[in-house]
């Protein structure tokens, strides 16, 4: 039942004026009795908002949504540009991605094997790298002619095509507490833990989550 119908049915119970309903301005009962049900020239029960007011309301809502989105991007997701080929084919040079800066910082999620993490290069913390986590604390990592072994078991790496593999070997190494062993997916074009060692947890500041440019590659990071 609409508001007008509610007022019409109860008009005989009012004294001189109707009682406000949902913030509407009270009107004399007599005025309610003269409101026609419809037809040409009939006046609406509630004052209609003008078109400019409606448009301004839409603009206001749109601006609020944009501001919320911008705040989310600035404070939660950081847009970054990939430079180099060490993460091909998953990420390519000059690609733009979003990095979640809070997922690790507040313990929302632990760093897992397979995550693409963004971190400050331990040898020069003015530089930022992106690599894939291969070994987590307590793991024993070894490489035999390009094949990666975690705790004596070969790691399945379908994200590394055969043409991107190399034949390098590395003796077993235990990943220390609070550190991670990372590799680039393009193994024969990556400077990673094989060369300079483990990444401290304190250097990890985000997780790559989404490619937003170019449009044809838009989607979750794999």
The Cα 199–Cα 217 span in angstroms is: 29
How many residues are listed for the chain in this entry? 222
Residue-by-residue DSSP string for the chain: --HHHHHHHHGGG-SSBPPP-TTPPP-BHHHHHT--SSSTTPPPSSPPPPHHHHHHHHHHHHHHHHHHHHHHHHHTEEEEE--SSTTTTTS-TT-EEEEESSTTTTSSS---TT-EEEEE-TT-TTSEEEEEEEE-TT-EEEEETTEEEETTEEPP-TTS-GGG-----EEEEEPPTTEEEEE-SSGGG--SHHHH--EEGGGEEEEEEEEEESGGG-EE--
Count CA within 13 A, CB hemisphere, residue 163.
Answer: 2
Residue 188 makes CB contacts below 8 A (sequence gap 6+) with 164, 165, 166
Catalytic residue list: 86, 131
């Amino acid at each position: 039942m609409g508001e007008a119908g509610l007022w019409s049915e109860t008009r005989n119970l009012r004294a001189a004026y109707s009682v406000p309903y949902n913030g509407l301005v009270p009107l004399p009962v007599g005025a309610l009795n003269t409101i026609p049900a419809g037809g040409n020239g009939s006046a609406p029960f509630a004052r209609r908002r003008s078109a400019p007011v409606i448009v301004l309301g839409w603009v206001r809502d749109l601006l609020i949504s944009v501001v919320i989105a911008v705040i989310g991007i600035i404070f939660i997701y950081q847009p970054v540009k990939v430079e180099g080929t060490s993460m091909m084919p998953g990420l390519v040079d000059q690609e733009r991605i979003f990095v979640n800066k809070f997922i690790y910082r507040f313990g929302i999620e632990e760093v897992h094997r397979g995550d693409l993490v963004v971190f400050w290069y331990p040898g020069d913390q003015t530089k930022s790298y992106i690599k894939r986590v291969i070994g987590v604390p307590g793991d024993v990592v070894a490489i035999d002619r390009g094949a990666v072994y975690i705790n004596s078991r070969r790691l399945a790496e379908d994200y590394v095509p055969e043409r991107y593999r190399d034949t390098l070997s590395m003796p077993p190494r235990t990943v220390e507490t609070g550190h991670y062993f990372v590799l680039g997916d393009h193994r024969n074009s990556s400077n990673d833990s094989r060369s300079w060692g483990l990444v401290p947890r304190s250097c990890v500041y985000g997780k790559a989550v989404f490619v937003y440019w170019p449009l044809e590659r838009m989607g979750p990071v794999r």
